[in-house]
Amino acid sequence: DVKVTQSSRYLVKRTGEKVFLECVQDMDHENMFWYRQDPGLGLRLIYFSYDVKMKEKGDIPEGYSVSREKKERFSLILESASTNQTSMYLCASSVIGALGVGYTFGSGTRLTVV
Amino acid sequence: AQTVTQSQPEMSVQEAETVTLSCTYDTSESDYYLFWYKQPPSRQMILVIRQEAYKQQNATENRFSVNFQKAAKSFSLKISDSQLGDAAMYFCAYRSATRGAQKLVFGQGTRLTINP
């Protein structure tokens, strides 16, 4: 069964901490995405990557960075966590060019910044 | 930029009844894809149904069907014979068919409750 795996289901961090959210996919997908999900706002794209070491900003990149050193792994980094980054974070992957197929999602990481 | 709007934050339906979830979108493109995703309490997003904009025929997957009105930029989801397992958040999403376009744009979501 193909998968997108997010390393933590729940995470609690302190304000100012550097936070790493990890995502691994086993489908050899070129594209990987990080979204945050907030009530009433739906899913908003933070960053995506279409190849190793390549990244593009999404709609809300401020306060975040990403790293993609290997094809299967895409990390989201909160350089200095703040309380307004408390949210659900969803990772997804897709085959490049297969526009009609949609994404495969991970199960999400619920991050609380205190 | 494309936008997707789901105007119903919450909906409820009696088990075995039919419910329709609304979705509208804004785009200047003529070729694109539309999706409905389901997110149950497990948080795992599941693709329910998809529609290619160039196809006039509405997509159907078992109890799930869509009413795609391209001119009105409307894409509603109809769930027939609702079951308890259909309770979830439902998200409508848009994806451009432009070469190189990769991202999905999501609506705000609709929480569906099934009453036994």
Q: What is the pLDDT of residue A45?
A: 95
Q: How many CB atoms lie within 10 A of CB B108?
A: 20
Question: Is B45's CB within 8 Å of A92's CB?
Answer: yes
Question: Is B42's CB within 8 Å of A43's CB?
Answer: no
Q: What is the pLDDT of residue B49?
A: 95
Q: What is the pLDDT of residue A96?
A: 74
Average pLDDT, whole number, for chain B?
A: 94
Residues B77-100: what's their mean pLDDT? 93
Whether the per-residue pLDDT at B101 is higher than 70: the answer is no
Which has the minimum average pLDDT: A81-90, B5-14, B98-107? B98-107
A95-101 contacts, C-beta under 8 A, 24 or more apart = A95/A27, A95/A29, A95/A30, A95/A31, A96/A29, A96/A30, A96/A31, A96/A50, A96/B102, A99/B33, A99/B95, A99/B96, A99/B97, A99/B101, A99/B102, A100/B33, A100/B50, A100/B52, A100/B95, A100/B97
Mean pLDDT by groups of 10 residues along chain A of 114 residues? 87 97 93 95 94 92 96 96 97 80 90 98
Q: Are A32 and A91 in contact (CB under 8 A)?
A: yes
Cβ partners under 8 Å of residue B63, min gap 6: B79, B80, B81, B83
B46: three-class secondary structure by DSSP: strand
Q: What is the pLDDT of residue B97?
A: 83
Residue of B nearest to A100 (CA): B33
Token pair recorded at residue A64: 């975040």
DSSP A27-54: S--SEEEEEEEETTTEEEEEEEESSTT-
At B110, the pLDDT band (50, 70, 90 cuts) reads very high
With a pLDDT cut of 70, the percent of chain B lying above it is 97
Q: What is the pLDDT of residue B3?
A: 94
Question: How far, in Å, CA of B86 to CA of B21, rounded?
Answer: 13
Which residue's structure tokens are 């509208």? B24
Residue of B nearest to A109 (CA): B43
DSSP A52-64: TT--EE-S--TTE
- B contact test, residue of A46, A89, A103, A111 with most B CBs within 10 A: A103
More confident position, B6 or B102: B6
